[in-house]
Structure 1
Amino acid sequence: MSRAPITPITLRGAAGTLAGWEASPASVESRGTVVLVPGFTGSKEDFEGMLPLLAQAGYRAVAYDQRGQWESEGPEDVSAYTLPAFVGDLQGVLDQVSPEVPVHLVGHSFGGYVSRVAVVERPAKFRSFTLLASGPDSVSDINFPPPALVAQAVEAGGQEIIWQQLNAALAAAEPKPTPEHLEFLHQRILRTRKANIVGILNTMGESPLKDPAQLRDSGVPLLYAYGDTGDLWDPAVHERFAAELGARTAVFHGRGHVPNEDVPEQVCAELVNFWKELA
């Protein structure tokens, strides 16, 4: 079976246009719409391997760059990059791509922070919600420097500071990224607004939800998916948080923070199995 094509789309955000990608079923009736939200320094390209697979499984799949990321517009003012601002953009995207029918939502890392708040705000908009490599918060129990210190470094040294950290981590990764992919990652960080990076780091200094029970009690079916090797959160942290949420779990053994890129087939299989059981 040929891969479903990915089509660029333009969405409206509260601070400008948002660059998106869409893949739709070609020969089968749609089973529903999936919206995928990227994380810190990420973009829609983080789901490039997943969108065609989800479309082949019968789902219309939409991913977008958050405000100030990569190809999306965004202000130069750090104050425009608050959690409520990112959540507002996501709510607007939902109203554009599926105004009447609830969607399956997938949030990767910081995208999961944004997404969980959106679910609590409007649970009726969602058929399900998947946290993908998105732990409790960035305040404790995370293998990441204090966000406030990183924000100060970026303020002083710009986006290249983040690239140096990421490049060092990629140098130790297996398998090694191709030179072409490394160049894309470098250019993506340089084109992402400095205000976006600093604003997200400022946001990461607090827990996305005051009480995780809000998400558990939303009534939206939850899947908690993560890699057990080299993620920002240790497996025990993921296990504890998933239990706290009462979420079904999917573990990608030997994988780290980006299973969506490393093993998109496995991630999509877990998602589709989860969604079929809800039908």
Structure 2
Amino acid sequence: MSRPPTFTPPPCARADRLPTSRGDFAVHDTLSGDKGTALLLPGYTGSKEDFIALLTPLSEAGYRVVAVDGRGQFESSGPDDELAYAQAELAEDVLAQAEAIGTPVHLLGHSLGGQIARAAVLLDAAPFVSLTLMSSGPAQVAPAQQQKIKLLSDALAVMGMDRVWEAMTALDTPEEADTDGEDLRRRWLLHNPAQLIATGRQLTVEPDRVDQLAAVQPLPKHVLSGERDDTWPVPLLDAMAERLGARRTLIAGAEHSPNTDRPRETAEAIAAFWDDQG
């Protein structure tokens, strides 16, 4: 999981609720920007806090940024029905979020969020100025990650969220344990397990929809990742970018979460891409 350095938004942003036609969503919103507006979708087990380190540099670059908790993620509540988290349902949520903040918007999704963003664009690309897929691959995750997700889903089916958290943190390395805190635990406990099971399953069976996405024109596309990634191998992301005709950015020193590993460099690359669409 991404480990944001803080759960407190910077002075340029406000923690808020975004009312939409499909319910309210928790957001961090920088509120203003003269160059445009962006909607940021977090990954599996993640939340809007994963983008906190990007908010100030993207705001300084001239963009209003809205980072959102999807339904069932952290501070956005969701039902206990796995069907409510079908990818098509989550994609409709994204379209409603974009409408609520005011289209057109730049859309960015990290990992699972990238595949949800892709699904939203394939439903209706009209609200979007551009699409950035951050550490988000063409199809299902790597086999080792599929196994981890299966183990987690099996545990969630028979154990409470608190017991699963204890089991996960017991396996952390000393370095990871040092970054664990009450905020991370609280985020985990507020995730709806039905959301985790349903979206985890999606990550293990997602088909390759790159050709469909490539056919969505004109929509500028950007594939950004760290220089190492154990969820989707970097050469696979390279090939996806080529198939999409997308800009390709590799963030040195970053792994699966460049947004938290190298936020300043990541924000600069994102803003440069957005600037080119203005």
User: Do both proteins adopt the same fold according to a TM-score greater than 0.5, normalized to the shorter chain?
Assistant: yes
Match of 2:183 in 1: 184
Structure 2: distance between partners of 1:144 and 1:113: 16
Contact 2:40 2:66 in 1 (8 A): yes
Is the partner of 2:18 in helix, strand or coil? strand
Q: In 2 relative to 1, CA 178–152 (structure 1 residues): closer, same or farther, beyond 3 Å?
A: closer
Deviation per residue, 1:221-251 (Å, 9 max, x gap)? 1110001224412221221222222211110
Q: Does 1:89 align with 2:96?
A: no
1:133-152 counterparts in 2 under 5 A? 133-138=135-140, 141-146=142-147, 147-152=149-154
Match of 1:24 in 2: 31
In the superposition, the TM-score normalised over structure 2's length comes to 0.87
* Long gaps (5+) in structure 1: none
Contact 1:7 1:21 in 2 (8 A): yes
User: Sequence identity of aligned pairs in percent?
Assistant: 32
Structure 1: distance between partners of 2:174 and 2:237: 23
Which residue identity does 1:107 align to in structure 2? G
Which residue identity does 1:278 align to in structure 2? Q
Contact 1:12 1:92 in 2 (8 A): no
Q: In 2 relative to 1, CA 15–30 (structure 1 residues): closer, same or farther, beyond 3 Å?
A: closer
Match of 1:213 in 2: 211
Which residue identity does 2:209 align to in structure 1? D
Query: What is the Cα deviation at residue 206 of structure 1?
Result: 2.3
Structure 1: distance between partners of 2:69 and 2:89: 14
Which residue identity does 2:48 align to in structure 1? K
1:54-203 counterparts in 2 under 5 A? 54-98=58-102, 101-138=103-140, 141-146=142-147, 147-160=149-162, 163=165, 167=169, 171=173, 178-179=178-179, 181-203=180-202
In the superposition, the TM-score normalised over structure 1's length comes to 0.87
Query: What is the Cα deviation at residue 120 of structure 1?
Result: 1.6
Q: In 2 relative to 1, CA 49–191 (structure 1 residues): closer, same or farther, beyond 3 Å?
A: same
Query: What is the Cα deviation at residue 15 of structure 1?
Result: 6.1
Q: In 2 relative to 1, CA 38–276 (structure 1 residues): closer, same or farther, beyond 3 Å?
A: same
Deviation per residue, 1:176-199 (Å, 9 max, x gap)? 5754x5332222111111111111
Structure 1: distance between partners of 2:231 and 2:50: 17
Query: What is the Cα deviation at residue 210 of structure 1?
Result: 5.2
Contact 2:139 2:208 in 1 (8 A): no
Structure 1: distance between partners of 2:167 and 2:236: 23
Q: How many residues align?
A: 267
Structure 2: distance between partners of 1:247 and 1:222: 5
Contact 2:165 2:185 in 1 (8 A): yes
Match of 1:233 in 2: 232
Contact 1:38 1:110 in 2 (8 A): yes
Contact 2:12 2:30 in 1 (8 A): yes
Name which of structure 1's ranges 107-116 and 6-15 shifts more when overlaid on structure 2: 6-15
Output the aligned Cα RMSD: 2.3
Match of 1:52 in 2: 56
Query: What is the Cα deviation at residue 48 of structure 1?
Result: 0.6
Query: What is the Cα deviation at residue 260 of structure 1?
Result: 0.6
Structure 2: distance between partners of 1:210 and 1:268: 28
Contact 1:18 1:72 in 2 (8 A): yes
Contact 1:33 1:61 in 2 (8 A): yes
Structure 2: distance between partners of 1:117 and 1:39: 14
Name which of structure 1's ranges 70-79 and 235-244 shifts more when overlaid on structure 2: 235-244
Structure 1: distance between partners of 2:143 and 2:20: 30
Contact 2:54 2:267 in 1 (8 A): yes
* Long gaps (5+) in structure 2: 1-9
